Every structure is written in structure tokens, then in C-alpha cells.
């Protein structure tokens, strides 16, 4: 992927996190925030954006998995 594509993907994932917060989900993105690279940080390297994308994606997946595990499933028989 080129740097511009990583920046674009980074921006899309940032929008997903905003949507999660707007829908009332309490998701923390500590590792992502500590990294310090944002989609608007166009002066940062391709590697920095790649790491930000991977970190953000990992944190989204971890939070979604935790939410999925905490759901109660009603069992019914046909």
C-alpha cells in the first residue's frame, strides 16, 4: 500500500471509532492515543500510519470480541 492509501484507511477507521462513540459504546483506544499519529498527521511517515491503522484495527476487534462474549444468548428449541 502507498502512504496515501494508509492515510485514507486510517481516516476511515477513525470515522468508525467516532460512530461507535456516537452510538454510546464505551470503547477506549489507549494504545492508539499513545501512538500520537492521527489521520490528519500527513507529515508522519508511511510506517507511522501503518502502525496506527494496525493498532486502531486491533483495538476495534478486541472491543467487538469482548462485547460479543458478554452478550447473553437465548436458547430456544424448534
Tell me, what's the pLDDT at 75? 67
Q: Which residues of the chain have pLDDT under 70?
A: 71-75, 77-78
Q: Write down the pLDDT at residue 19.
A: 87
Q: How many CA atoms lie within 13 A of 23 on its CB side?
A: 8
At 36 the pLDDT is 92
Topology adopted by domain 3-68: Substrate Binding Domain Of Dnak; Chain:A; Domain 2 (1.20.1270)
SS3 category, 54? helix
CA atoms within 13 A on the CB side of 11: 10
Q: What residue spans define the domains of the chain?
A: 3-68
Amino acid at each position: 500500500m502507498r502512504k496515501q492509501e494508509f492515510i485514507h484507511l486510517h481516516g476511515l477507521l477513525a470515522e468508525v471509532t467516532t460512530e461507535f462513540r456516537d452510538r454510546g459504546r464505551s470503547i477506549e483506544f489507549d494504545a492508539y492515543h499513545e501512538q500520537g499519529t492521527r489521520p490528519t498527521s500527513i507529515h508522519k511517515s508511511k510506517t507511522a500510519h501503518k502502525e496506527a491503522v494496525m493498532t486502531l484495527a486491533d483495538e476495534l476487534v478486541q472491543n467487538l470480541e469482548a462485547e460479543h462474549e458478554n452478550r447473553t444468548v437465548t436458547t430456544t428449541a424448534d
